[in-house]
Amino acid sequence: MWNEVKTNLSSTKVYLKEFLFFVTILIFLLFFIVENKIILITVIALILLFGLIFLNFIGYKRNRELKAIESVILGIRNNTFNQAEEIKLKENLRSLQEEIKQMFEKERNDIEYLKRLERMRTEFLANVSHELRTPIFAIQGYIETLLNGAIDDEKVNKNFLDKANQHTINLSNLLNDLIDISMIESGEMRMSYRYFNINDYFGQITHEMMPIAQEKGIELIYHPAKEGLQLFGDKNRLKQVFINLITNAIKYTEKGKVEVLIEEEPKYGKIIIRDTGIGIPPEDINRIFERFYRVDKARSRAVGGTGLGLAIVKHIIEAHNSKIEVKSELGVGSEFSFMLKK
């Protein structure tokens, strides 16, 4: 009991100055009012006694509140709460209770976010190693077979070298994509925005991509925009976007055409890349921009894809404060579009 009183009183130390101030004033006044010394001493003693009882009571209440707060904090630290609603303090501590609840929610979200990042990192590493292993094993296989005698076999030696060479090209493309992704995500990719003439620009890109389309027997058509139309963006980075989108359109189209057109709006130019290809299933549409995501892995790998192209495209377009849209119908075709400032 005495120990409890001691703790109660010591926790009211913060009010000691105020307490002494009031008691001194009271005693000072009493000196003038009460003349009888015995009465004066008794009153002072009573004031001090009640003062101490009062302080003990305040200390008691204060300690209980602090204990309640302490046990909530301990509960958070030991993960005993499953949700914020379980955190409860007394009525007079409502605002503190709300603050602690919000802190709890924030900590929960931060931990969730970190766990998600960790999962993404592990997945990313697993994907990278998998994608690297495929071409490296293939190249190793071809070289070993050649060394074991196939080099002298006129029927297969050139074919094996061609295949090994194709895998080194895939490997180098994959590494370039990985470098781009890591540069974009670490914020190191420098962008340089300028106005450029859209017709000249697409004239050159479609000219460069024409042989790939012709090889597959697909028509690649650019519908010129209004003469002299200029759009604002990073020409080089955008070239990467268009090459990716047009390559996809050609890659995932068996027959028909790939068209590039510009719809002019008052403040923007909307660039559309449309194909008559295999289309994308509705359940995959939201995922195709994820790193390494491919609708049909076997088919995509057969055409040399790793699923990084659209992830890079999305990043670059978002750096232009724009957003890529997709419309697609299975067996009919797909359309990718985004806006650029005029």
Ligand X SMILES: Nc1ncnc2c1ncn2[C@@H]1O[C@H](COP(=O)(O)OP(=O)(O)OP(=O)(O)O)[C@@H](O)[C@H]1O
Q: Which residues bind ligand X (CB under 6 A)?
A: 177, 244, 248-249, 252, 275, 277-280, 288, 293-296, 300, 305-311, 334
CB of 248 to ligand X, least distance (A): 3
The residue among 89, 82, 88 whose CA lies nearest residue 105 is 82
- Which residues make Cβ contacts (< 8 Å) with residue 196, sequence separation at least 6? 230, 231, 233, 235
CB of 266 to Mg ion, least distance (A): 32
Helix axes 309-319, 235-251, angle to 10 degrees: 140
- Say how far apart CA 23 and CA 27 lie, in whole Å: 6
DSSP string for residues in 161-174: HHHHHHHHHHHHHH
From ligand X, Mg ion, none, which one binds at residue 296 (CB under 5 to 8 Å depending on kind)? ligand X
- Say how far apart CA 184 and CA 310 lie, in whole Å: 13
- Residue 309 found at the interface with Mg ion (CB under 5 A): yes
From Mg ion, ligand X, none, which one binds at residue 241 (CB under 5 to 8 Å depending on kind)? none
- Residue 334 found at the interface with Mg ion (CB under 5 A): no
Q: Are 250 and 229 in contact (CB under 8 A)?
A: no
229-288: contacts with Mg ion (CB under 5 A):
248
* Element holding 208 (H helix, E strand): helix 198-215
Nearer to ligand X, 11 or 248 (CB): 248
CB of 295 to ligand X, least distance (A): 3
Residue facing Mg ion at closest CB distance: 309
- Positive/negative CA dihedral, 27, 28, 29, 32: positive
Residue facing ligand X at closest CB distance: 309
| Residue 52 identity (one-letter amino acid) | L
From ligand X, Mg ion, none, which one binds at residue 55 (CB under 5 to 8 Å depending on kind)? none
CB of 305 to ligand X, least distance (A): 3
CB of 248 to Mg ion, least distance (A): 4
CB of 146 to Mg ion, least distance (A): 31
- Say how far apart CA 186 and CA 117 lie, in whole Å: 14
Number of residues that bind Mg ion (CB under 5 A): 2
> What's phi and psi for 268, nearest 5 deg?
-135, 165
Nearer to ligand X, 138 or 146 (CB): 138
Residues in contact with Mg ion by CB under 5 A are: 248, 309
